[in-house]
A and B are shown apart, each in its own frame.
Chain A
Amino acid sequence: MTAQPMVKAEGVHKSFGPAHILKGIDLEVAEGEVFCLIGPSGSGKSTFLRCINHLEQINAGRLYVDGELVGYRQKGDKLYELKDSEVALKRRDIGMVFQRFNLFPHMTAVENVMEAPVQVKRESKAVARERALKLLDRVGLADKAGNYPSQLSGGQQQRVAIARALAMDPKLMLFDEPTSALDPELVGDVLDVMRGLAEDGMTMIVVTHEMGFAREVGDSLVFMDDGVVVEAGHPRDVLTNPQHDRTKSFLSKVL
């Protein structure tokens, strides 16, 4: 056995009122792995991702990040909900990139990247700015540091958003369809940045419709449908030789 998995889900269930969205998810994401999540719209991919950093609370099962229970503290056989501040503390280590970027529009690119280190980690502004500029350089936007999000293209905004998440030195990055809101010619820049991250050994969970990216960069791939994991394996195997009918019909539509 190798080290403990970065993310481990055991029978995770999630409902919104009467709507049962996640119906028992079991999976493991190893450290340094690029884990791709595909599936039809409404299958619960975003919901699962949001459970991992406790933007949603799971109803049943267990979810661990780096060996620690998400959202709860276990004492004996009882679970205690974590306080708001404790949840915030755990989220520091998990970066998240959204489909619609969600940059802070009242801050420039570099201010967006500095914000969490200054507010959450209490870094000095000078130190945070220097590091933010380095991160912007890493995503190829050194010359856009002073621009507001409204003055950036979609692809540039998403790369700033990635830099913003990286600024907290996360041990895990969650990507929720990071390129779905982008014009086709802007997708490549964002995927390049993600590829670079993968090469640097970042653990990443990527919800995506970019099958090419999944095949080239992904270490494992899970096909989700209707709140359950239908098929899992190496991306090459699942994408070229799917075993289940549901996987086959989904792939025939998107490939």
Chain B
Amino acid sequence: MTDKLDKTPGPADAAPEQVPPDIIRAIPVRHYGRWVSAVVVVAVLGALVYAFAQGNVRWATVTDKLFDGSILTGLWHTILISVVSMAVGLILGVLFAVMRLSKNPVTSSVAWLYIWFFRGTPVYVQLLIWFNLALIFPILNLGFYKDYMTAVMTPFLAALLGLGLNEGAYMAEIVRAGIQSVDEGQTEASHALGMTQMQTMRRVVLPQSMRVIIPPTGNEFINMLKTSSLVVAVQYQDLLRSAQDVAATSFAVMEMLFVASIWYLALTSVFSVGQYYLERRFARGSLRSLPPTPLQRIKSNLLSLSHWRR
């Protein structure tokens, strides 16, 4: 009885396959669990999107105000204060890390004290202290320079000191861990070649510690982008404050918070990609082959997805 619909070739009429005998052609494992979890996750996601679409949100306002002039100015201020504070934090971090590891008990104690204070108090409190410094020192007198404190301590400076000094304390610990992660044999080999302490630090120790320093520093910077919203406390006109100002006049409180969130997300996303390439750069020599770039990864993910669908 021959059925025309039966496409499965019988053993008799199968063409002789040109396959070496040792190539395995197994039936792949069916991952039913993956299917179930995917369906559940997609359903939850759909419900969430639906809820927000139905909510009392004026999406037009969100898209409208996204590129509003004052929002963009606020965005610029957020980027500026974050980058400058991070730069200050990095410089202070390296400085205090080296001081902390120094054999001189005075310098290492000073570094310990700095880290203890600026890491041990909330950054919000530190911002307020800088902002209100005029209450205890009405006049700033540096000997060569004299002025009213209120004139010197602008919102920008207060924000910079608050965020930068706080960041320096965290970075000092990160850099110290990085320096200590480098094998002592490296320092010895460098000294044995006639390199000075400074050359050894700059050419041998710091480049190697970068691999340990960069990932947490990336986290620090992402944190900084978000923590910088605290500078509202010192009257600095950042992204959040600009959004709130617009909200106050247009009565679109949630909408403007969405606008701010979208920009914060955009900033952190762009930075994460940059961080990835930075890490790749400093992984040289430590891995036999470099990890794939995101593009290469997306490609291979798509490939494995097609396997997954089978």
Chain A residues with a Cβ under 8 A of chain B = 53, 55, 84-85, 88-89, 91-92, 94-96, 98, 100, 102-108, 115-116, 119-120, 148-151, 161, 164-165, 168
Contacts and interface: CB of A to CB of B under 8 A. Distances in A.
B185 A91 contact: no
Contacts of B185: 98, 100, 102
Nearest to A96: B192
Interface of B: 183, 185-186, 188-197, 199, 203-204, 207-208, 282, 284-288
B18 to A, nearest CB: 39
Contact of B192 (A55, A115, A119, A148): A55
Given A94-B192, A104-B189, A168-B194, A150 B199 contact: no
B285 A148 contact: yes
> Which DSSP category, helix, strand, loop or mixed, fits chain B's interface?
helix
A98 B197 CA distance: 19
Contacts of B195: 88, 115-116, 119-120
A168 B188 contact: no
Contacts of A165: 192-193
Contacts of A149: 285
Contacts of A104: 186, 189-190, 204, 208
Q: Which 3 A-B pairs have the closest CB atoms?
A: A92-B194, A102-B189, A148-B285
A220 B191 CA distance: 28
A91 B197 contact: no
Nearest to B189: A102
Contacts of A53: 192
Nearest to B184: A102
B134 to A, nearest CB: 45
A10 B108 CA distance: 37
Nearest to B289: A151
Contacts of A88: 191, 194-196
Contact of A105 (B188, B191, B193, B208): B208
Nearest to A104: B204
Given A100-B185, A105-B286, A119 B197 contact: no
B196 A106 contact: no
A148 B188 CA distance: 20
Given A98-B185, A102-B185, A115-B203, A120 B193 contact: yes
B197 A115 contact: no
Contacts of A95: 192
B286 A106 contact: yes
Given A148-B284, A150-B285, A116 B194 contact: yes
Contacts of B203: 115, 119
A128 to B, nearest CB: 13
B194 to A, nearest CB: 4
Given A119-B199, A120-B199, A89 B287 contact: no
